[in-house]
Structures are given as structure tokens and as C-alpha cells.
Structure 1
Amino acid sequence: MGEPGEQLPEEVLVLIFRHLPLRDRAAAARVCRAWAAAATCSAVWHNTNISCDCELKSMLPPYLYACLDHVHNLRLEFEPSREPSRRVATELLTALAGHTPGLRGLCLECRGEKPLFDSGRDVLDAVHALCGAARALRHLDLRRLPFTLSDTLVLQVAHGCRELRSLFLDNGTLVGSVRPSSVLELVECRCLRALGLHLASLSSTALEALAAPDRAPFELLAVRCACPEDVRAPPLPSEAWVALRRRHPWLAVELELEPALPAESVTRILQPALPVAALRLCLSGDTVGPLRFAARHYATTLRLLEVRAAASAELDAALEEVAARCTGLREVHCFCLVRPSVLHAFRAHCSRLRSYTLKLTREPHPWRPTLVA
């Protein structure tokens, strides 16, 4: 009998192996010489997802490290509260810093709970080392990293990764520690097209820099308002938003407003001049007012709406107004029960709707969205 790899051409095996998790790639490489050649082919490793929880018992460091030079985009999942998972993630990031200066994209995805009284210094040190080595880095996503980020990391990326296209720092930390002055140096990178920040890290000077005539088109600005520093942040002038939108007419703004914000802060943040494409509301106070504001001022730009609030007749009425005005919505997710007229309004007015969470009766959590055919 011939080797199993002789049954399929190598290019077909490569297409199959690139979708396998790490442990299955390792198993495939041990089957025969042909499969080993396909499993270690650079095309298999260009886009790699690794879960440090799933791979702990079967990860083979020699096999893995031999392929690190081929990794262009890495999505790394780990659970920071579990020491083995965290250790493997840290070791992998450190090894990657020494093997692959050609890394283009890195996304860190934390699962489970953040360990109590832990600052994540070991993980952040590994991220620093990797960003210092990966000079060709274009995409860095730290939204799911629950540790407090620093100016040092932002400045390192700003000065060392001159081809950076997107950077997301709008994570779930309770402390906003990235200063506007560091972000200003970051936005001087003319290639930057997408940026995620806490509100306290953003300034009118940064908006003016993004509106400079000699920079590449800027496409996405994600702003999270969740920590005390965001509450104390000064308001950004409407004129700066108008100028930014005039310079980049296709700009999309994503706003995430969380319970830490008092009503007066919400009023300062929601300005008519913002081209809000995604609005996520999880407020401890009034939600109806912001919804009606969005219906009036974001009718032509809003594509995604997410609401977490207590059910009420007033909330239902506001949602119906959003449905009638914001007809370009693609997704709407409301995590409380709504009356049937709300569902009917979105189905009737929003012809581009692709997914919604609008529950009429109680269901076990987590609630699953309904996909529109």
C-alpha cells in the first residue's frame, strides 16, 4: 500500500491542514513523509489559530517552533486565570518574538476570568517583546486582553511598527492608562486606518491629526466609555468631528457606553456630527433618551445596535422609532424582552437586516440571535 499522502496532491492536503487546530496538524505530520511536508508548508501556517487550553497536552514545541517563521497572522486564545494556559501563551509569544519578524497580525483572545490581584505583567512583557521584534506588524487587536495597557506599549508600536494599519486598545480594563499624548504619536503613523480606544485616550488634537490631508483614508474609530477616566474626559468639539468626517466620508464610528457613565456624560458623548455605525448601550441610567437621539441623528449611518436594559413600554417605543428611522440596520440585539410590535417594526422597515436578538418570551441564556435568510 502506498503512503496516505500519495492519495491526494500536496496542494489539496495544504488546503485541508490549514483549517486544522494545532494538535491535529501535529498528528498529521506524524502520519507519513508526504503529510509531514504538507503540514509544515508555509501556506498552512500563514493564518494560524491556537488555543492554549486545547493544545496543552498535545502541543509539541519542536514541531511548533519550526513553523513559527511562516506565521503571518496569529489568533491566540488562553485563559489567564489558569496558570498552565497562561504560561504556554507567554512562552509562545516570547518564542514568536525570536522567530518571526514577518508577523503581520496578532489577536489575543482571553477566556474565563481575569485572576484576582494580577496585573498581567508576564503576558504584557511578552506582547512588548513581540511588538519590538515584529517590525512588519500591521494589525494588533488587544480588545480581549483584560489587563491594563500602558503608554510604553503604544509608543513602542507607534515608533517601531511603521506599517501599522489597525490597533485596538479598547479593552475591558477598569483603568484608562493610555494618555492622549501617546495616542497623538500613534496617529502620526500615516498608514493607520482603524483605531480602538477608551474615550479618555482620545483628544481633539488626535482628531485633527487624523483629518490631515496627507494621510491614508481612515476607516474605523471604535470608542469605549467604561472607566472613571472616560467619565472625566473633556468633551470633543463638534467641529473636530465635522472636519474628520469631511476628510474621510466613509469613516465609521463605533461607540460602546457602559454603566460607569452618568447621564450628563452620555449627553456629551453622543453628538450629531458623529457618523455612528455601531452603538452598544449598557447604561445604568436612561437608555430611552440615547436611543431616541440615535434614531434622530444616526439614521443614515447606524448599522449595528446592541441594547442591554430593563424591559419597559418606553424602551419598546424607542426601539420602534429606531426601526422606522434607521432603515439601514444590519444587526439589532436587545437583551431584554420586547413586545411583538418591536420585532414587526424591524422586520418591516429594515430590509437589510441580517441578524437580530428580539425575544418575545423568556428563553434560557445565552440568547442566540436569529439569522435572516
Structure 2
Amino acid sequence: MAQIMTAIGLMSGTSMDGIDLALLETDGEAVLRRGPSHGLAYDSGFRARLKAALVMAAPIRDRGERPGDLVRIERDLTLLHAVAVHDFLHANGLKPGDIDVIGFHGQTVLHRPDEGLTVQIGDGALLAAETGIDVVHDMRAADMRAGGQGAPLIPVYHQALAANLPGDLETPVVFVNIGGISNLTFVGGDGALSAFDSGPGNMLIDQWIEAHDGGSFDAGGAVAAAGVVVPELAARYLDHRFFTDNLRRSLDRSDFSPPVKGEVSLEDGARTLAHVTGAAILRCATHLPARPKTYVVSGGGRLNPVIMQEFSALAGRSGARVLSSDAVGLDGGAMEAEAWAYLAVRSVRGLPLTFPGTTGVREEVSGGVLNPHR
């Protein structure tokens, strides 16, 4: 019998809004217990530094390069994660010795799959030393060395969760994660996986709101709710070759940009981008092995009622139902962090993290770098 491990997953996604933490007990195959979770928001100053890091990273040609202030930002990012772990342990009555491994995503500052190049800043060895817990990081690189897109990595966790979904859901069921970038996972009746990035998620709306000094996101979808969809603007996004190419590829923040400030009103821009988020998912779903009947949505996008309204209305035209992951007993805010805990255990066991049907890798491959805490 495989060893059951207690793992913490740490995720800082493309929205760059903070750190998500979650605890998981697993053998890397079955999910035995989903534990507590927590989120730590970055302050505005650190978010600004992360945005600057994207610019600093643009000239990188070798993933070990750290131009400009990236070395200091990477260290500070890692130390923030260490503080988040210690606070999480304290809040839940745990000690470092209670945790077998941490799965550490770090922050993606560059992702160019067509060049086989991906860079996540985050020092796994420093995090292990600071927390006193073994750390697995850099889980995308092995996939890209083997010809994969380096994303998405969550599908194998979706596959494990699919085994315990309520039996009354109409199948096929597709998991949709709406973070900064959206991705979807189709789990076939035989367990076969098909997954890929499906377009901009919250990223464009967040950038649009920030450009108007309205905060870092559209809280509760209030801005979008006051606008209308501008068809010409929506078409500009949905006619992008990403949706029409037969080859599925993973996305970087720079692949899509928000509208130019002033070309539409704040409200109409937000509403149109919410529509694009839902429509993009459905356009990409046409590349799946079968037409989905149920979409289970996780990530921050599920909390924007206008995104969910647009997505539900569009999916309903093809007879599909859209549900929040919380409605089926899953924690939609913690799922990515849980996935990173799950992937860390799989990495320790040498189990595959990615598959031909998820990232386009030539054959299933494990990955990750293990950093012992001593």
C-alpha cells in the first residue's frame, strides 16, 4: 500500500492577487481528505513589484536567468510564502513535523510554450529551510523538456476528484478553472484525460478595472452588471487564432490584452470581457472528445455572478448546465492549491503529472524538484 502523505499546496496564479494554501491527505492517487485552506492577499506594493517582474523577465532566454531585480523579488516572494505557511500551521494547530511535503508553484513571470520556455520564480531550497518542511517546486519544466506545453497541470487532480462527484450529475462532466487564465478538463468514462487552456479568465477584467483605478478586480461583478456586451469588441477576442487553431496551446498573460482605455465605457468593457470569458470556454470545448452536459466551475471567476450568468446562458443553448464547484461539495477557491499538494506527492512518488491528452507531451511524464528541509 502506498504511503499516505500530508501535504500543503501553495499557489500564486496569473491574477497575482495573493497566495492560496490548502492541506491534503493523499497517496498521490486517491484523495483521502481535503483539509483546511486559506488565502493571503498581496498588498498593492508587492503586486506592483510582481507586475514589474513580468517586464524584467521578458528578455529571458535561459530559464535560470534573473535579470534586473528578479533575484530580490524571488527571495521576497519565497519569504512571503514561508510566512504564509507558518501562519497557516499555527492557525490550524499544526507543526512543521506534521507535514510531509509542500507543493510550491511560485509565480509565473514568463511562459512561452512554443519556445519550450517557462519561468516560475520561487526558491524551493529557501522555502524548505525557512519552513522546516520538504518542498517540491518547478513542476512544469520536465513536461516542456518532453515536448509538452507546461500547462495545465491540474487535470490529474480533477481526475481524482471526479471519482467522488455526486452521481446525479449529467455526464460528460467538465471541470473549468477560471483563474487569470481559464482551463478545462474532460474526464472520460474510462478515466482518459483531455485538457487545455481555454482563454482569458479574470485577467482581462482585472486589468480593465485597474486601468480605471477601480481596484484590482470587479467585486461581485458590480461594474459588469451595469454594462452591455459590445459585439464588435467581443468578436475581436473570440476571432483570435487561439480559438480556431486545431492545435491546443497554453497561454501566457501577454497573449491577450485589455481594450484601450476610452474605446468603450468602463461598464460595457467589463460586461463584454465577462461575456468573452464564458464564450471562450465554450469555443474551446468544441475540441473535447464529447459535448459536455455539466460544467463544474472553480477559481475566482465563479464568484463573479456576471461571468457565471454569461457562461450559463451560452452553455444552456447547447443543453449544458453550469454549476459552481461549491455546489457539488468541492472548495472552488482552494482547488488549485489542493492540486499543488497532490502534485507534490505524485512527484515524490515518481508518478506522472502530465499526459499527452493534457499538455501535448510525447508521453506521460513526472516532474518537480525535491528540496529536503535539511
Give the alignment's TM-score, normalised by structure 1. Answer: 0.28
Q: Which has the larger radius of gyration?
A: 1
Give the alignment's TM-score, normalised by structure 2. Answer: 0.28
Instruction: Name the structure, 1 or 2, with higher relative contact order (CA <8 Å, separation 6+).
Output: 2
